[in-house]
């Protein structure tokens, strides 16, 4: 078992905008700072200069690294395995216009990977999943579609499943991406992100003083439930399953039935506030946006909601996460390759500040919820571990402790999608670097 390699302390990226909206300059930086490739391979793939846990290594599947500057995937986001050597990858393409795609990626240890565009002309495709009918579902900005990747012409098999989601044009909406999960009965739970950071300003309020964006007709900052009918379809009608969720891009359903959401919280300028959140989603509850921050504090734009935030009307976070970590995906690991990770929750932290750029893992209870620590801490590049100062929270085991920016070796990591392959390897995308990465056992 090879020990993880220590790399020079990373510098700090000074970027003050939302993790979802500031990609243009960072993409340019990524083009200048490609990942170095080391001499020894990682289970048959070129080894990237990413420090991992002992016994683990990072292999480059596709994307610019070393002497290869090609970037076939512009902004890769989510992954779905079809068979032992075949994957589907969603690609935003660009943050404006219908330039997104779904790619078929073929990769095998020791061979060069190949990519083939199956669908194009999509609006910000992000989430991808296999549906209860065996078809592949993709979440675009304002709709969810399904298609057959094995069809002779996959594009001809596309049909809209859910339409009428907010057409969240980027410059008018802070959180335009669609995320969805299937519940046990086949219902679709769909994220509708908040159109602003804090719903601030007099024009953002209803006559009764509530946030018009979340409590008005738009039903934003919510999770919508679309029920599956007897014919296996989803009609246009929906229920608001839960409210007060700023951005539910990290959304997962545990085998026990627990619905877990990792919240991308407010974009306060301060480095250490507010904390991100892990929420256990229950029907009919309100999780606080835009009124509350951290546990039960009122948000700066809503000081009059102090008592409401402390009341039972507000579903407080189950646990806190590091500030500005920007969790974008999570799953529970079940695979043979890493027995020590069995059952643990894995989470990608996409944030560009010094707590982001990691894949973290947590021990969980029978419901799949992380178990809080008595003295929780979180990692910060260049500073070691930092105490939360409030709880509940859990100290993670980080799979990628050496993914901070290191000139000549790598840009800071920007992991998005996570998937566990049939062989137990952990696959991830890095959208800023244009990479698909395979984390495997290091023999």
CATH number of the domain encompassing residue 100 = 2.120.10.30
What are the angstrom distances between the C-alpha of 392 and each of 146, 156, 325? Answer: 39, 49, 17
The alpha carbon of residue 382 and the mean position of all alpha carbons in its chain are separated, in whole angstroms, by 24
Query: How far apart are alpha carbons 341 and 356 in whole angstroms?
Result: 21
Contact (CB, 8 A) for 323 and 347: no
Question: What own/partner pairs with CB < 8 Å and gap ≥ 24 does 82-90 have?
Answer: 82/149, 84/422, 84/423, 87/419, 87/427, 87/436, 88/118, 88/128, 88/136, 88/149, 89/115, 89/417, 89/429, 89/436, 90/125, 90/126, 90/127, 90/128, 90/138, 90/417
pLDDT band for 201, please (50, 70, 90 cuts): confident
Pull the structure tokens for residue 242: 């839960």
107: CB partners within 8 A, 6+ apart: 61, 62, 85, 87, 113, 114, 436, 438
**Stretch 134-162: mean pLDDT:** 96
What is the percent of the chain where pLDDT is above 90?
81
DSSP state of 341: G
- Domain count of the fold of the chain: 1
Contact (CB, 8 A) for 411 and 393: no
The alpha carbon of residue 77 and the mean position of all alpha carbons in its chain are separated, in whole angstroms, by 8
**Stretch 316-328: mean pLDDT:** 98
Whether residue 12 lies inside any domain: the answer is: no
Whether residue 130 lies inside any domain: the answer is: yes
Whether residue 96 lies inside any domain: the answer is: yes
Whether residue 204 lies inside any domain: the answer is: yes
Q: Is the pLDDT of residue 305 over 60?
A: yes
Whether residue 169 lies inside any domain: the answer is: yes
pLDDT band for 169, please (50, 70, 90 cuts): low
Whether residue 8 lies inside any domain: the answer is: no
Query: How far apart are alpha carbons 125 and 140 in whole angstroms?
Result: 4
Instruction: Report the predicted TM-score, pTM, of the whole model to 2 decimal places.
Output: 0.92
Whether residue 10 lies inside any domain: the answer is: no
What are the angstrom distances between the C-alpha of 55 and each of 38, 45, 133, 153, 264? Answer: 16, 16, 38, 42, 31
Query: How far apart are alpha carbons 234 and 376 in whole angstroms?
Result: 42
Whether residue 14 lies inside any domain: the answer is: no
Q: Which of 16-20, 83-87, 346-350 has the lowest mean pLDDT?
A: 16-20
Query: How far apart are alpha carbons 148 and 263 in whole angstroms?
Result: 32
Range of the domain at 42: 23-441
């Amino acid at each position: 078992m090879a020990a993880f390699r220590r790399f020079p302390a990373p510098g700090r990226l000074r970027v003050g905008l939302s993790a979802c909206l500031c990609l243009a300059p960072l993409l340019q930086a990524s083009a200048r700072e490609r990942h170095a490739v080391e001499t020894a391979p990682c289970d048959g793939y070129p080894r990237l200069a990413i420090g991992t846990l002992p016994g683990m290594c990072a292999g480059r599947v596709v994307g610019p690294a070393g002497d290869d500057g090609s970037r076939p995937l512009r902004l890769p986001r989510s992954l779905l395995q079809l068979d032992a050597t075949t994957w589907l990858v969603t690609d935003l393409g660009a943050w404006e216009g219908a330039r997104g795609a779904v790619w078929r990626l073929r990769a095998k240890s020791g061979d060069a990977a190949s990519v083939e565009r199956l669908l194009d002309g999509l609006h910000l495709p992000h989430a991808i999943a296999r549906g209860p009918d065996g078809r592949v579902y993709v979440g675009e900005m304002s709709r969810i579609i399904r298609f057959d990747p094995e069809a002779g012409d996959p594009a001809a098999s596309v049909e809209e499943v859910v339409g009428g989601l907010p057409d969240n044009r980027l410059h008018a909406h802070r959180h335009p991406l669609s995320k969805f999960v299937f519940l046990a009965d086949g219902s679709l739970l769909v994220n509708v992100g908040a159109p602003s950071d804090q719903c601030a300003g007099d024009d953002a309020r209803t006559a009764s003083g509530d946030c018009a964006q979340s409590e008005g007709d738009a039903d934003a900052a919510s999770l919508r439930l679309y029920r599956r009918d007897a014919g296996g379809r989803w009609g246009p009608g929906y229920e608001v399953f839960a409210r007060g969720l700023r951005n539910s891009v990290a959304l997962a359903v545990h085998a026990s039935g627990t619905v877990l959401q990792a919240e991308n919280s407010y974009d306060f300028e301060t480095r250490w506030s507010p904390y991100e959140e892990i929420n256990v989603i229950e029907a009919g509850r309100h999780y606080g946006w835009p009124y509350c921050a951290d546990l039960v504090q009122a948000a700066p734009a809503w000081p009059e909601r102090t008592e409401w935030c402390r009341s039972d009307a507000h579903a407080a976070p189950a646990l806190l996460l590091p500030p500005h970590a920007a969790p974008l995906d999570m799953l529970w690991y079940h695979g043979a390759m890493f027995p020590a990770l069995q059952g643990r929750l894995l989470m990608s932290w996409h944030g560009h500040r010094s707590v982001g750029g990691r894949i973290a893992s947590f021990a969980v209870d029978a419901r799949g919820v992380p178990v809080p620590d008595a003295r929780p801490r979180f990692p910060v590049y260049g500073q070691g571990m930092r105490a939360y100062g409030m709880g509940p929270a859990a100290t993670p085991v980080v799979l990628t402790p050496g993914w901070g920016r290191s000139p000549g070796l790598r840009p800071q990591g920007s992991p998005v999608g996570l998937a566990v392959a049939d062989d137990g390897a952990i696959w991830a995308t890095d959208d800023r670097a244009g990479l698909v990465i395979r984390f495997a056992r290091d023999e």
